[in-house]
Amino acid sequence: MIASLPMYDWPETRCINDTLWQLLYNNLQARGVDAPQHLSRSNNEESHWLSPDLLLSQTCGYPLSTLLREKVQYLTTPVYDVAGCEGGYYSSVLVARKGADIEAHDMTRSHFAYNSKFSWSGYRCIIREFGALENVFSTLVESGGHRNSARWVAAGKADIAALDAVCWHMLQHHEPKTTNKLKAVYWTKKHPSLPFITALDRSVPVAQNLVAAMKEVIASAEFAEIRELLPIVECVEIDVEIYMALGREA
């Protein structure tokens, strides 16, 4: 059985994710739900998401609406208490170097760093907002991760990048030497936040217990002690069709 929390599992936050999982594990055990004692970690997120052994993971809205469509169950959506997030929705922020003469209405001479073409927050939502990126930026370069994109902009290897609001918040907390060199030049429209999922064949009672456990743990005094480092304030359900719309080309 697999449980993973890969989306914001940075070296600085792995112990926080481990703590969250232990709280969830204890809650699930009390509910009579079998669960792995420890989180699984892999460089191949898809192997977890598509495994029939998946109990719980978190994915991005774009994979949910494409690669994982009708292959996993949607469970619930976290609500993050950070700038750019509201309800179960979040924005991406376009960042540039401080002092750079870059404005959102004219980025045609800019070198754009994106984490992955499979990412909603770092790539796809920018297409939805601005159109074909080849017509918006002079150069596109894949960084492999939001954190890398921010570092590349700070170091002058790229001019601009799109980061999801939670990553931007985490960077400001964990890597101020990078974010102190950056400025926000644009916030996108809000889209549904990164959802929690389980295997497609997971039973309805287990899925319901997973959602109930998430909500109970997030509201608990134990989680309140780490909420500053993992600022989830609640979980809400969002119509799956809103996620599915992300996979349909504009």
**Has residue 250 got a pLDDT over 50?**
no
- Provide mean pLDDT across the span 96-106: 88
Quote the tokens at residue 49.
């998401």
Q: How many CB atoms lie within 10 A of CB 58?
A: 21
pLDDT in tens, 193-246: 999 999 999 999 999 999 999 999 999 999 999 998 999 999 999 999 999 999
Q: Taking residues 111-116, report their average pLDDT.
A: 96
Domain 2-81+193-247 sits in CATH at: 3.40.190.180
pLDDT of residue 249: 57
Identify the weakest region by mean pLDDT among 92-106, 114-128, 144-158: 92-106
Banded model confidence at residue 90, pLDDT cuts 50, 70, 90 = very high
- Helix crossing, 165-174 with 146-155: angle to 10°? 60
Whether the predicted pLDDT of 136 surpasses 90: yes
Distance CA 108, CA 35 (A): 50
Mark out the alpha helices in the chain (DSSP H runs).
14-30, 45-49, 61-65, 125-130, 146-155, 165-174, 176-179, 204-218, 221-224, 240-244
Got the DSSP string for 204-249? HHHHHHHHHHHHHHHTSHHHHTTTTTS-EEEEE---HHHHHGGGS-
Q: Span 177-188, mean pLDDT?
A: 97
Superfamily of domain 92-189: Periplasmic binding protein-like II (3.40.190.10)
Q: Do domains 2-81+193-247 and 92-189 have the same CATH topology?
A: yes
The rounded Cα 238 to chain-centroid distance in angstroms is: 16
- Spans of all domains in the chain: 2-81+193-247, 92-189
Q: What is the number of H-type helices and E-type strands within the chain?
A: 10, 13
Residue 44 confidence (pLDDT): 87
- Please give the pLDDT value at position 174: 95
Kindly report, residue by residue over 5-50, the tens digit of the pLDDT: 999 999 999 999 999 999 999 999 999 999 999 999 988 899 999 9
Spatial contact of 103 and 159, defined as CB atoms under 8 Å apart: no
CA 173, CA 91: separation in Å to the nearest integer?
18
| Structure confidence at residue 103 (pLDDT) | 82
Q: State the Cα–Cα distance between residues 195 and 245, nearest whole angstrom.
A: 14
